[in-house]
Structure formats: structure tokens, C-alpha cells
Copies of this chain bind each other. A is one copy, B any other.
Amino acid sequence: MSYNDLLHELRARGHRLTTQRRLILEVLQKNEQHMSAEEIGEQIKNRHAGIQVDMATIYRNLRWLSEHSLVTETSLGQGHMVYVLSSNHNHHHHLVCNSCQRVTEVRVDLLDELRSRIEAEYGFTARLDHIAFFGLCRTCRGNGA
């Protein structure tokens, strides 16, 4: 789904096309990586010579986008949520170590089978393109953590 499709999608769902929304979507669309709400705000400021969108606005829009499946919201255990455009197909998953907090990225297709099973058995459309698994990395397990 392209940037323009996204804007069209907003209108189709009865949302107005404000400058702020355009800026938020622009940043999300240019970043293939998950970002926090604050990072989104900063990037808007950097890219547009000091324009600052209020955090309240960013949060309000992220919530709406998430509820409408246009954005994926994930917790990586850092005390804040992170967001990616659902249509950015750079699917990847994370292994987060409970001891050293280090994050490792893992293969894309690891969860393909799981997704099908959840869909088939529960009628639930899981967004598994950006999942975090917690546990212990090799190093910390060795440390007796």
C-alpha cells in the first residue's frame, strides 16, 4: 500500500486529511523500522524545518491507525510502544533478552505456519510481522542469569 493509498484510505474511512496526519504517515512510510511516538515527532521536526506536531496528536493518530490495522503496535519491553506501517513489508521478529535486554532480529518466515494455524483454528487474523519474544540469550544463560 503506497503513501497515496494510505491517504485515500483515511478519507474512505471518514477521516480528514490534515497536515499533521500527512506528516505522521510520511515518516512512518519512510521508516522501515519500528519507531516510538517520540521518534516520530522528532523526525517530523527534522524533516520539516522545525514543524512540531504535538505528542497528543501523534498518539491520537497512532491509536486510530492501529485500531484500523494500518499500523502495527508492539511492545519491546522498553517502557514504550513502537509502531510500523503494516504495509511496510520488512517483516521481522525480535528476541529480547530478559537479562541483558539485548534485541536480536530473526528470520521473517519463522511464524508463517503459526499465523495460518491461528487463522484456521481461531478465526483470528494475527499481525505477526513484528513480534517480540522474551527469554534468555546464549550468553546470559551461560552466566546463570
Contacts and interface: CB of A to CB of B under 8 A. Distances in A.
A67 B98 contact: yes
5 contacts: A67-B145, A69-B136, A73-B98, A95-B122, A131-B133
Copies of this chain present in the complex amount to 2
Contacts of A111: 114
Interface in A81-129: 95, 97-99, 104, 106-107, 110-111, 113-114, 117-118, 121-128
Given A67-B145, A98-B66, A134 B126 contact: yes
Contacts of A16: none
A145 B99 contact: no
Give the size category of A's interface with B: 35 or more
A74 interface: yes
A138 interface: yes
A22 interface: no
A68 interface: yes
